[in-house]
Amino acid sequence: MELEATYQNVDVIYPNQPAQNRKIRKAQNPTGQHQHTGHGKVRSFHFTKPVHGKRFPPIIYLLQAVSILLSVVIFITAVLLFSVWSTKLAAVENKFQMEISGLQTNFTEWTSKLVAIESKLTEDISGLQRNVTEWSTKLTVIENKFNKEISALQKNVSEWPTQMTTIESKLQLEISGLQRNVTEQSTRLAQIENKFEEAITGLRRNDSKQLCAPGWKYFNSKCYYFSKSLKNWHEANSSCISNQSHLIVIDTAEEQNFIITNIMQQQHWIGLNDLSVKGQWKWIDETDSKTSQTFWANEHLNNGHCVQMRSDGRWENAPCTSNRRWICEQIPFACFSN
């Protein structure tokens, strides 16, 4: 330790002399005594008292203090920012919950309104049907009476010309009145139907996604349900029917692409089968598959009478008893359709 301190003192005394040269000299005379050079001269080596430690300048302690202070400031700032953002996040979450509650309330209100509209329209249509039936009956009675009177008048043309003219005019007036009533009732019925169609169109345009039940997806004026459980083809079809729908009937490439994006690479039953006649593939609504675009897999098998959509979106037939997921299709407000 003293030798190392001595080297440090030499470095302090000779700061501009290369350290390597100083070390060489120390190695040549480790005792620190006078050394003869061989030419009659004596070379002296002087060593100072070892220094066992150095004191750092005050600026170093000042920088350390500043560094610690900055660290504390940064930590406090981070804590404050975290508190502010936590408060903002809580506010956003509350707002989001309020908006969801509002949407649910709106959906319930629209459902109630639509039920009321349906009831009113059903009553109006029933009333119109009764009126038309009554007027038809009256018209039939009048027509029969008219025919009888015409027959009687024809037998007595020579005797009753004036009376026949009066009766004919009266009958014409009654027929005109009946025709006006029928026209008025028809116009009223058309106005009610137009208002109903406008209301349905407005609902679909302004809030189409709320036309579908929770858990269903809206696309191109239809609602679709993608199951999470597994059933055979017949059970899947019964499940769709119990929800006022049916297994999906794919008509277009756009619908096919929409289905592919939602099957999550899982096999699903669709509404295509040849249960009636083997090899004649028909949809669940009895539509022939040849009337629309199909998406069969090139290597689809012939060992089943029901059709499934593979994970890649292609179709292949499979045993109807196999358990698969399934897709239901529903037209919103189907109960109002003609």
* pLDDT for position 157: 67
pLDDT tens per residue across span 210-267: 678 899 999 998 999 999 999 999 999 999 999 999 999 999 999 999 999 999 999 9
Asked if 240 and 200 sit in the same domain, the reply is no
Asked if 93 and 237 sit in the same domain, the reply is no
Asked if 71 and 205 sit in the same domain, the reply is yes
Q: HSE of 279 in the Cβ direction (CA atoms, 13 Å)? A: 0
In Å, what is the CA distance from 82 to each residue of 75, 78, 85, 133?
11, 6, 5, 76
Q: Is it the case that residue 206 has pLDDT exceeding 80? A: no
pLDDT tens per residue across span 28-44: 555 554 444 454 454 44
Which candidate, 329, 328, 331, places its Cα nearest to that of 231? Answer: 328
Residue 50 within any structural domain of the chain: no
Selected residue with higher pLDDT from 71 and 333: 71
Considering 211, 230, 248, which residue would you say is the last residue of a domain? 211
Asked if 233 and 201 sit in the same domain, the reply is no
> DSSP readout, 160-183?
-HHHHHHHHHHHHHHHHHHHHHHH
Asked if 132 and 63 sit in the same domain, the reply is yes
* pLDDT for position 7: 42
Asked if 196 and 221 sit in the same domain, the reply is no
Domain of 226, in residue numbers: 217-336
Lowest mean pLDDT among 66-80, 124-138, 241-255: 124-138
**Both tokens of residue 312?**
């890649």
Asked if 34 and 173 sit in the same domain, the reply is no
What is the largest distance, in Å, between two alpha-carbon atoms of the chain?
186
Residue 173 within any structural domain of the chain: yes
Asked if 60 and 186 sit in the same domain, the reply is yes
Considering 182, 211, 240, which residue would you say is the last residue of a domain? 211
Reported confidence tier of residue 116, pLDDT bands at 50, 70, 90: very high
* pLDDT for position 310: 93
> Which residue type does 43 have?
R
Reported confidence tier of residue 188, pLDDT bands at 50, 70, 90: confident
DSSP 19: H
Q: Is it the case that residue 125 has pLDDT exceeding 50? A: yes
**pLDDT (average), residues 163-187:** 84
Domain count within the chain? 3
**Tokens 């179709």 found at:** 315
Residue 162 within any structural domain of the chain: yes
pLDDT tens per residue across span 144-166: 888 888 887 777 766 666 777 88
Lowest mean pLDDT among 12-16, 186-190, 292-296, 332-336: 12-16
Considering 191, 211, 231, which residue would you say is the last residue of a domain? 211
Q: Is it the case that residue 280 has pLDDT exceeding 50? A: yes
* pLDDT for position 73: 94
* pLDDT for position 236: 97
**Tokens 């004596």 found at:** 42
Lowest mean pLDDT among 20-24, 50-54, 179-183, 315-319: 20-24
CA angle 85, 88, 89 (to 5 degrees): 85
Reported confidence tier of residue 336, pLDDT bands at 50, 70, 90: very low
**Tokens 């609602």 found at:** 223
Q: Is it the case that residue 183 has pLDDT exceeding 60? A: yes
Residue 48 within any structural domain of the chain: no
Asked if 106 and 130 sit in the same domain, the reply is yes
Residue 145 within any structural domain of the chain: yes
Reported confidence tier of residue 47, pLDDT bands at 50, 70, 90: very low
Q: How far apart are CA 338 and CA 329, in angstroms?
A: 18
Helices and strands per DSSP (H, E), number in the chain = 6, 10
Residue 193 within any structural domain of the chain: yes
Asked if 189 and 118 sit in the same domain, the reply is yes
Q: How far apart are CA 236 and CA 230, in angstroms?
A: 8
Reported confidence tier of residue 209, pLDDT bands at 50, 70, 90: low
> Which residue type does 322 have?
S
Q: First-to-last CA distance in the chain?
A: 107
Reported confidence tier of residue 205, pLDDT bands at 50, 70, 90: low
* pLDDT for position 303: 77
Residue 22 within any structural domain of the chain: yes
DSSP 264: T
Q: Are 330 and 216 in contact (CB under 8 A)?
A: yes
Q: Is it the case that residue 331 has pLDDT exceeding 60? A: yes
Residue 49 within any structural domain of the chain: no
Q: How far apart are CA 269 and CA 310, in angstroms?
A: 9
pLDDT mean across residues, the chain: 80
Asked if 100 and 206 sit in the same domain, the reply is yes
Asked if 187 and 73 sit in the same domain, the reply is yes
Distance of CA 202 to the CA centre of its chain: 21
